[in-house]
Chain A
């Protein structure tokens, strides 16, 4: 079942903060976060693993609450370059070889 993201869309001014949430009705074992700019392919941001370990490449933080089956992505002091659509993805089941299913996306627009 597809993860559910909220909000669907966010409009910010440069320097403001945003939180994007991702929740699942099934148990989460890991959560992926990706960003897609208009007309481009999605690009990896980070993976959050059970136990709190994070693996990522950018200075964007996230949390993973296994009990609540949800993850949140924190974008602080937003920059124009943060604009795009953010997707969370979750494996369907406990196996790493299973389906990687994405939420419907959250569109973030940062204005000057």
Chain B
């Protein structure tokens, strides 16, 4: 089983360039998330999608857009990259149970983005 697959794994951009990080899961999960990780800052939620057709802002959404393309895929777009967006980006998914707070997160391997 592939689990959560992110592409690309590494990317270098120049300030002002745009790019899209792709994420796909094959576990039939309904909920998907994008986090960024910076040293000493932990994992910060950018956007999430509780179910197909819905997306919501997380803690640090500025400068990003997302698309929940279908149940499997959730992409993150940087329209005009800035050096402050240099980070490791993790996509994750979980299966939400009706009315229960269960559902562990499964993470992708991460995408390392450098903006010069």
Do A and B come together as binding partners?
yes
Cβ of B109: which chain A residues have Cβ within 8 Å of it? 40-41
Q: Report whether B90 and A41 are in contact in the complex, using a CB–CB cutoff of 8 Å.
A: yes
A13: Cβ under 8 A from any B Cβ: no
The CA of A38 and the CA of B107, in the complex, are separated in Å by: 14
Q: Report whether B110 and A2 are in contact in the complex, using a CB–CB cutoff of 8 Å.
A: no
A-contacting residues of B (Cβ < 8 Å)? 31, 33, 35, 40-45, 48, 50-51, 56, 58-59, 90, 94, 96-97, 99-110
Known interface pairs A96-B100, A99-B45. Does A32 touch B50 (Cβ–Cβ under 8 Å)?
Answer: no
Instruction: Please name 6 further chain A to chain B contacts, defined as beta carbons within 8 Å, in addition to the given A41-B109, A99-B59, A104-B40, sorted by A numbering.
Output: A2-B42, A87-B43, A91-B101, A96-B101, A99-B58, A102-B35
Q: Report whether B104 and A47 are in contact in the complex, using a CB–CB cutoff of 8 Å.
A: yes
Q: Report whether B99 and A101 are in contact in the complex, using a CB–CB cutoff of 8 Å.
A: no
Q: Report whether B90 and A42 are in contact in the complex, using a CB–CB cutoff of 8 Å.
A: yes
Closest approach, in angstroms, between the C-beta of A87 and any C-beta of chain B? 6
B-contacting residues of A (Cβ < 8 Å)? 2, 29-30, 32, 34, 40-44, 47, 49-50, 55, 87, 89, 91, 96-105
- Which of these, B41, B48, B51, B110, contacts A100 with CB under 8 Å? B48
Q: Report whether A32 and B48 are in contact in the complex, using a CB–CB cutoff of 8 Å.
A: no
- Which of these, A29, A30, A55, A100, contacts B45 with CB under 8 Å? A100
The CA of A29 and the CA of B100, in the complex, are separated in Å by: 10
User: Total A-B residue pairs with C-beta atoms closer than 8 Å?
Assistant: 73
Closest approach, in angstroms, between the C-beta of B54 and any C-beta of chain A? 9
Most chain A CB atoms below 10 A, which of B105, B106, B110? B105
- Which of these, A34, A40, A50, A104, contacts B41 with CB under 8 Å? A104
Known interface pairs A96-B97, A97-B31, A99-B58. Does A44 touch B105 (Cβ–Cβ under 8 Å)?
Answer: yes
Cβ of A103: which chain B residues have Cβ within 8 Å of it? 42
Cβ of B42: which chain A residues have Cβ within 8 Å of it? 2, 87, 102-105
The CA of A97 and the CA of B30, in the complex, are separated in Å by: 10
Closest approach, in angstroms, between the C-beta of A97 and any C-beta of chain B? 4
The CA of A59 and the CA of B63, in the complex, are separated in Å by: 41
Please name the residue on chain B nearest to A85 by beta carbon.
Answer: B42
Closest approach, in angstroms, between the C-beta of A86 and any C-beta of chain B? 11
